Amino acid sequence: MFEARLTQGVLLRKLLDSMKDLVQDANFDCSSTGFALQAMDSSHVSLIHMQLRSDGFDHFRCDRNLSMGVSLNNMAKILKCMGNDDVLTMKAEDQGDSVTFMFESANQERISDFELKLMDIDSEQLGIPDTDYSATVKMPSSEFARICKDLSTIGDTVLIAVTKDGVRFSTTGDIGSANVTVRSHSNVDKPEEQVVIDMQEPVALTFALRYLNSFAKATPLSNQVMISMSKELPVVVQYRIEDMGHISYYLAPKIEDEEMEGDE
């Protein structure tokens, strides 16, 4: 038996909205430690790792580890039917073939039950090694979303270059080029607006903007985003979910190709 109650039900809706563009079907892993998901897009370029700790829920019960196969799109559709202030309860039997979402309005006047059929799917998993990244940037998540959106009007890839005083996003395309530089600055009154750069060595990597724009769908979940990079490693774009966990996106960089050039 799995049961979890979340006062801020809307959180799960935001999470689903930030994942469904990248992945169609995925397994939610329920265990006594929490509610988690790891999934890759079909081209194996990006990976989502989501984790909500059990202590972040108002009530959490999981008798036995359970892997629930779900169509993210359908789950998102159901969660769209939830009110903004509703309390959400998820329930699933160990041997069952469905999961129930119960929405209770804040004043207890309206209670709705939605049942979603589960699927048996093979999800592809990767073992992600622990890495000390050579540069991490913490910045306002809305700023990051805006930069990705603005740059994709010009090109389809972005070069992210981190130096000790700032991070530069640049792109070129058929119609021209664009650069956005964000300088590190602190703001004691409004910590959510700070830009903090922690850097061992400068890093510059190129990524496909299409994926970063999908990641930015998680902006409503957190005021700040943390971008971690190391030379020749996938970037991690992480949104913290207060008191509960995080959603992290991994994206493989673009690489120079030697074989294509050849000698002519």
Partner 1 sequence: MGIKNLTKLLGDHAPGCCKEQKVENYFGRKVAVDASMHIYQFLVVVGRTGDQTLTSESGDVTSHLQGMFFRTAKMLEVGMKPVYVFDGKPPALKREELSRRVERRGDATDLLTEAKETGGEADIEKYSKRTVRVTPQHNEECRRLLRLMGVPVVEAPSEAEAQCAQMCKEGLVYGIASEDMDSLTFATPKLIRNLMKPQTQNVPINEYDYDKVLEGLNLTADQFVDLCILCGCDYCGTIKGIGGVTALKLIQKHKRLEDVLASMEGGRYEIPDPFPFEEARRLFKEPDVLKGDGMPQLKWTAADEEGLVQFLVGEKSFNEDRVRKAVQRVNAAKSKSTQGRLESFFGPVSIKTSDTGKRKEPATGKGKSGQAAKKGKSGVGVKKK
Binding site for partner 1 (CB under 8 A): 27, 40, 42-47, 66-69, 92, 94-98, 117-129, 157, 206, 208, 232-234, 250, 252-257, 259-260, 262, 264
CA separation for the pair 94, 175 (Å, rounded): 56
Where do we find the tokens 């992210």? 160
Closest distance to partner 1 from the beta carbon of 218 (Å): 19
Selection from 219, 167, 162, 222 nearest residue 192 by Cα: 222
Report helix, strand or coil for 94.
Answer: coil
Tell me the closest approach of the beta carbon of residue 140 to partner 1, in angstroms: 27
Residue with smaller CB distance to partner 1, 83 or 96: 96
CB of 148 to partner 1, least distance (A): 17
Specify the residue, 11 or 151, whose C-beta has the smaller distance to partner 1. Answer: 151
Pick between residue 232 and residue 243 the one whose CB is nearest to partner 1: 232
**Phi and psi angles of residue 30, each rounded to the nearest 5 degrees, phi first:** -105, 130
- Which CB sits closer to partner 1, 139 or 178? 178
Burial 19-31 (b: 16+ CB within 10 A, else e): bbbbbeebbbbbe
d(CA 221, CA 215): 11
Contacts of 210 (CB under 8 A, 6+ apart): 152, 156
As measured in angstroms, the least distance from the Cβ of 108 to partner 1 is: 30
Looking at beta carbons only, is 176 or 191 nearer to partner 1?
176
Q: Give min distance, CB of 180 to partner 1, in A.
A: 21
